[in-house]
Amino acid sequence: MTTLATPYDLVLSGGTVIDPATDRNGRFDVAIAGGRIAAIEPDLSQAPARERIDVSGKIVTAGMIDTHAHVYEHVTGRFGLNPDMVGVRSGVTTLVDQGGPSCMTIGGFRNYLANTSQSRLLCFISCYLVGGLEGHLYPDLYGPKCVNVEHTVRVAKENLDIVKGIKAHAEIGGQSRWGLDVIKIGREIANQTGLPLYIHLGQLWPSLEEGPVPDADELIRELVPIMEPGDILAHPFTRHPGGFVSKEGEVHPIVFEAIARGVRVDVGHGSHFSFEVAKRVLDAGVRPFTLGADLHGYNVSAPTDMNADVREANPFFGVAPFSLTVAMTELLTLGLPLKDIIATVTNNPATMVGLSDEIGSLQVGRSADVSVLEMLNGRFKLFDNSGVEVITDKLIRPAFCLRDGMRFDSDSPLIPPAMAA
């Protein structure tokens, strides 16, 4: 047992620590001093501490990392959410904005968000000049003529402390316009920066009416050979065409080839989650490496000022609110072990962004980024994006988190109420 003459600032007492990176799973006390983890011991009850929080019956993990956020607030219009609402106020200490900032707007992202938010903000910079303006509602802005390799490479290299990858979209609406030209340009940017390429799957834009109808199954067969170890395929559970599952209802064999050579899978929940598709993919043996919530302004609330034409054209419209812990609950309901789910929001995403020696694990000396979760027992309703309802007997909810030792209660309005069945 550890004792100190100088008291700890805080001790989290009696919680169940789950830290896949160190294989720690059991009852431990966690002590914080000077914004860093000072001790992790079975019993620190006799150690002096300025404050103690009893977390008995709760799960204590490394600060959770959301690998798919859309938090470039204001600049990306109604698409971008408030970072701390998605982050620390939802029990999440680190957010990776996927494609919001571009080579033209990364300065604003750094100065007005990353430097001011309580949540740690990273990003995968968009390969498109416009980034994530208005949630990619205007496909003409996302063709190969709207990409500048030299500028994007230079800006990414100048901001490597926050830029951790390159974001692009592979979907049949774009394929009908430009084939995979933009993906190949994104590959060039990734190669020149030494960063991973993160690829959106699932139809985003309507296909062109003129010309041949694109083959959704052919898209992924053409895409995967472009990808390299460490790259990421997003939205494996999408119900939209152009994902992991073919028209025949089977997982494309090339997906297994990609995973075998080191391509990673990020759930990217958002508007791309289907219980039916998820079960098919998981039953086939595919396991997600990371879990991103993919919250944005079109899927956590239904805007009331959008006209009918815009609503019809927006595939994200009207999706019910959710949070990262709801996405974790869905994976638990689908049969994934809790330890594996914790890994998808802690050490695995830390590896994805190249920061596994800094975040994603509870270790003495590291910044005190800690998430405290509750596991509720009962009967709860879950909904996917196609309206399917599933009843579960367990629900994961955030209680609070510590970011560099500072406490933030989980009071975000984005956390949906526990809906009893």
Same domain, 180 and 285: yes
The residue-averaged pLDDT of 187-192 equals 98
Beta bridge partner(s), residue 391 = 381
With a pLDDT cut of 70, the percent of the chain lying above it is: 92
CB 325 within 8 A of CB 91: yes
- Residue 310 above 50 pLDDT? no
Tell me the per-residue pLDDT of 150-174, one tens digit each, with 9 for 90 and over. 999 999 999 999 999 999 999 888 8
Tell me the per-residue pLDDT of 14-35, one tens digit each, with 9 for 90 and over. 999 999 999 999 999 999 999 9
On whether 269 is known to bind a ligand per the annotation, the reply is no
Number of domains comprising the chain: 2
Tell me the per-residue pLDDT of 29-71, one tens digit each, with 9 for 90 and over. 999 999 999 999 999 999 999 999 999 999 999 999 999 999 9
The predicted pLDDT at position 270 comes to 84
Amino acid at 153: V
- Within 203-273, residue ranges assigned H as helices are 216-223, 253-260
CB 378 within 8 A of CB 53: no
Same domain, 347 and 372: no
Q: How many residues does the chain have?
A: 421
- Residue 341 above 90 pLDDT? yes
On whether 167 is known to bind a ligand per the annotation, the reply is yes
The predicted pLDDT at position 6 comes to 79
Judge whether 415 lies within some domain: no
On whether 74 is known to bind a ligand per the annotation, the reply is no
- As to burial, measured by CB atoms within 10 angstroms (0-12 exposed, 13-18 middle, 19+ buried), residue 228 is middle
3-state helix, strand, coil in the chain (%, to 5): 25, 25, 45
- Which CATH number covers residue 301? 3.20.20.140
- As to burial, measured by CB atoms within 10 angstroms (0-12 exposed, 13-18 middle, 19+ buried), residue 304 is exposed
The predicted pLDDT at position 5 comes to 66
Same domain, 240 and 139: yes
Specify the DSSP class assigned to residue 64: E
CB 280 within 8 A of CB 245: yes
Angle separating helix axes 216-223 and 253-260, nearest 10 degrees: 20
For 391, half-sphere exposure in the C-beta direction (CA atoms, 13 angstrom radius) is: 4
The predicted pLDDT at position 20 comes to 98
On whether 23 is known to bind a ligand per the annotation, the reply is no
CA distance 161 to 82: 21
Judge whether 123 lies within some domain: yes
CA distance 268 to 338: 18
On whether 235 is known to bind a ligand per the annotation, the reply is yes
Same domain, 48 and 90: no
Query: Cβ–Cβ contacts within 10 Å for residue 308, how many?
Result: 7
E strand or H helix at 414 = none
Same domain, 206 and 77: yes
Same domain, 298 and 338: yes
The predicted pLDDT at position 211 comes to 66
The residue-averaged pLDDT of 182-187 equals 96
The rounded mean pLDDT for the chain is 91
On whether 200 is known to bind a ligand per the annotation, the reply is yes
Same domain, 163 and 263: yes
Token pair for residue 270? 């958002």
E strand or H helix at 336 = none
CA distance 282 to 269: 15
Same domain, 23 and 134: no
DSSP string across 94-151: EEEEES---TTTHHHIIIIIITT-SSEEEEEEESSTTTTGGGG--GGGGSGGG--HHH
- Residue 334 above 50 pLDDT? yes
Domain residues for 255?
Answer: 63-352
The residue-averaged pLDDT of 97-117 equals 97
In this prediction, residue 208 has a pLDDT band, given cuts at 50, 70 and 90, of confident
The residue-averaged pLDDT of 103-125 equals 98
Tell me the per-residue pLDDT of 372-396, one tens digit each, with 9 for 90 and over. 999 999 999 998 877 888 999 999 9
Domain boundary among 352, 375, 396: 352
The predicted pLDDT at position 315 comes to 41
- Buried b vs exposed e over 23-35: b needs ≥16 C-beta within 10 Å? eeeeebbbbbbee
**Residue 230: helix, strand or coil by DSSP?**
coil
Same domain, 109 and 187: yes
Q: Cβ neighbours of residue 309 under 8 Å, at least 6 residues apart?
A: none
The predicted pLDDT at position 185 comes to 96
Tell me the per-residue pLDDT of 76-96, one tens digit each, with 9 for 90 and over. 988 999 999 999 999 999 999
- Residue 134 above 90 pLDDT? no
Same domain, 238 and 138: yes
Same domain, 80 and 39: no
